Structure 1
Amino acid sequence: MKIKDITSYLESIAPLSYQESYDNSGLIVGNSNDVVNKILISLDCTEDVVQEAIDKGCDLIISHHPIVFKGLKRFNNANYVERTVIKAIKNNIALYAIHTNLDNVLGGVSSKIAKKLALSNQAILSPKSGLMKKLVVYVPRANVEEVRKALFEAGAGAIGDYDECSYNTAGYGTFRPLDGASPAIGEVGKQERVEETKIEVVFPAYLERNIIVSMLSTHPYEEVAYNLVTLDNSLKNVGSGVIGNLSQPMEGVDFLAYLKDKLQLNVIRHTALLDKPIQRVAVCGGAGGFLLNDAKRSGADIFITGDYKYHEFFDAENQIVIADIGHFESEQFTQELLLDIIKKKFANFAVLITETDTNPIKYYC
């Protein structure tokens, strides 16, 4: 199997276009056409993880966090990032990261936390907008079914739990082929009037190239009249954080004990418990403090995330409980998630979860 067989599948679930602007998800080291025989999954990519890959005969490391966030100007072993990259290159080990794009899908990192906590009715806490486009194309009546079918097969027309969605308007188009044209309909120098259908379909922006290629390959015209519009509509399954419900309300202290047990935590930093039970729970893997207001608006009783600073805890304002469980701890089950995703598609392929502890934070209890 080639690296691109694995990465293309992962990106069909968590498209690279869903990552945040500061991120660096994707293939960081390696050639997508290289053959891969064994994969090592890790939350972080470190020198020790690369060594583990060498020892176990793995030629691809899939990590959640990218080893390279910013551009590197030198490779001279000056820091752990450079040393890790150099070691991977020397040993022909490819490095791939699936970071905020996996954070930003329902069924991703935050959903894994929610599943561990047995939350029902999961939904994205802060849906993203601007990720959908609309195609409008004018097609001769005789070719409408063929073009529409090609658009659907390329991924257009999917809205929530529905697919093959389109809006079609009958009309007519006019055009006059000029010298040098090879019209499918009409004659050079003569204005033509053709019965046409205007087809409108929406699609995820990352599918644009496939959609356009499919449309052009089936449309009969030499010059196709179409336009693209970016939509402000939010995608309900794409965005940050997850909100869900416990099957039964729990007292605050009981829920903290439940949280500690289910997520295998050493410690929980939290604001004062409120004088009401906890049932509606908001979660965000990693550093999710930016979602606090979304958690409040969603009616959450508690917001679980990592990397909270001292003064940020005051923002709870006795409206919600903030629980900081740690960055690594909130994302540690991402390794299981990636294993399950890959094994579902490539059942007989060798995929291992790292045995290296990459958490840089230690606790003295």
Structure 2
Amino acid sequence: MPTVRDIEQALFALAPKDLAMSWDNVGQLLGDPDTEVSRVLVALDITEAVADEALEKGCQLIVSHHPVMNCKWLPVQTVRSDTPQGHLLLKLLRSGVSAACMHTNLDIAEGGVNDRLAQALELIDPGPLGDPEGLCRVGTLATPMALADFARSVQKALHANGVRFADAGKLVSKVAVGGGACGDYEDFAIQAGCDTFVTSDLTYHTFLDAKGKGINLIDAGHFPTEDPVCEALVSYLTARFPELTVTKSASHREVIQYLVKD
């Protein structure tokens, strides 16, 4: 059976480590590299529910997009059972479950997060947007449509609980996508001549300025815009290691709910 190290190297073949941003934390972050693996669970995040699911399914490895430890937003100063992060890390370590996380390298990589997002939205000929990191993608619709209709199609395609959008008064034809929190790349979408940008975690002021900047905005949520890559990881690992049982988490899903005005 392959080891955790073997699987980590296969993941780096898909999403090379040197693509990751300087602040990021990618690769095997927990466990013994020499552990043999027969079952893998794939999830966008490693939560308590995902950890419990991995234990119930007898998995030796969890592969996730978001790092289980990342000093950018949650510094690891202690590992204590009376803190949420420490409790999760100790549960995994004591159970012998390893974690391999592919984050910004998988965002940027060919066939990664943003290519899968473009594919889910059925964009034609998606390619790099032109941002310095090579993160976002841009493509066109087969047929231009009104923003409200496109927003509904985005919600359906990504199985989102809801979407937020701002209308700049343009038909949707040339679309930029950035899975997760890519609002900082809006100006690159404008420079590329896009009429619409699909991403997540947009601020009030970004929406407020959309009409003046001349670009439609759709915030489809962090989880929905990135989750399509999980099925891609399942397919990739199954093809590389036919002897493995690789499954996508059934417990991890969108946590944001929307209350719609009557």
Q: Distance in 2 between matches of 1:22 and 1:357?
A: 26
Give the match for residue 219 of structure 2: 324
Distance apart, 1:318 and its partner CA: 4.3
Give the match for residue 107 of structure 1: 111
Distance apart, 1:357 and its partner CA: 2.5
Largest Rg, 1 or 2 = 1
Q: Distance in 2 between matches of 1:77 and 1:20?
A: 30
Give 1 or 2: higher strand fraction.
1
Conserved? CA contact 2:61–2:99, under 8 Å = yes
User: C-alpha deviations, 1:16-68, integer Å up to 9, x for none?
Assistant: 11111221111110122221111000111012211111111000000111111
Distance apart, 1:15 and its partner CA: 1.1
1:37 aligns with 2:38: yes
Q: Trace 1:6-155 onto structure 2 (pairs within 5 A).
A: 6-70=7-71, 71-128=75-132
1:335 aligns with 2:224: no
User: C-alpha deviations, 1:288-317, integer Å up to 9, x for none?
Assistant: 011101100111111000001111223322
User: C-alpha deviations, 1:209-238, integer Å up to 9, x for none?
Assistant: xxxxxxxxxxxxxxxxxxxxxxxxxxxxx7
Q: Could you say what secondary structure the match of 2:256 adopts? A: coil
Give the match for residue 248 of structure 2: 353
Conserved? CA contact 2:29–2:100, under 8 Å = yes
Give the match for residue 251 of structure 1: 146
Q: Distance in 2 between matches of 1:100 and 1:322?
A: 22
Greater Cα shift, 351-360 or 87-96? 351-360
Q: Unmatched 5+ residue regions in structure 1?
A: 129-237
Conserved? CA contact 1:106–1:123, under 8 Å = no
1:297 aligns with 2:191: yes
Matched-pair identity in %: 32
Cα 1:348–1:247 change in 2 (3 A) is farther
Q: CA RMSD in A?
A: 1.6
Q: Distance in 2 between matches of 1:96 and 1:363?
A: 32
Q: Distance in 2 between matches of 1:36 and 1:55?
A: 15
1:287 aligns with 2:142: no
Conserved? CA contact 2:168–2:214, under 8 Å = no
Conserved? CA contact 1:286–1:331, under 8 Å = yes
Q: Distance in 2 between matches of 1:345 and 1:78?
A: 39
Q: Distance in 1 between matches of 2:198 and 2:69?
A: 27
Conserved? CA contact 2:39–2:58, under 8 Å = yes
Conserved? CA contact 1:252–1:273, under 8 Å = no
Q: Trace 1:310-321 onto structure 2 (pairs within 5 A).
A: 310-316=204-210, 317-321=212-216
Q: Which amino acid aligns with 1:75?
A: V
Conserved? CA contact 2:16–2:109, under 8 Å = no
- The alignment covers a number of residue pairs equal to 255
Q: Could you say what secondary structure the match of 1:253 adopts? A: helix
Q: Unmatched 5+ residue regions in structure 2?
A: none
User: C-alpha deviations, 1:255-275, integer Å up to 9, x for none?
Assistant: 12222221122221111241x
Q: Distance in 2 between matches of 1:80 and 1:50?
A: 13
Conserved? CA contact 1:44–1:358, under 8 Å = no
Q: Could you say what secondary structure the match of 1:32 adopts? A: coil
Q: Distance in 1 between matches of 2:204 and 2:174?
A: 24
Give the match for residue 160 of structure 1: none
Distance apart, 1:358 and its partner CA: 4.7
User: C-alpha deviations, 1:1-22, integer Å up to 9, x for none?
Assistant: 1111111111012111111122
User: C-alpha deviations, 1:136-184, integer Å up to 9, x for none?
Assistant: xxxxxxxxxxxxxxxxxxxxxxxxxxxxxxxxxxxxxxxxxxxxxxxxx
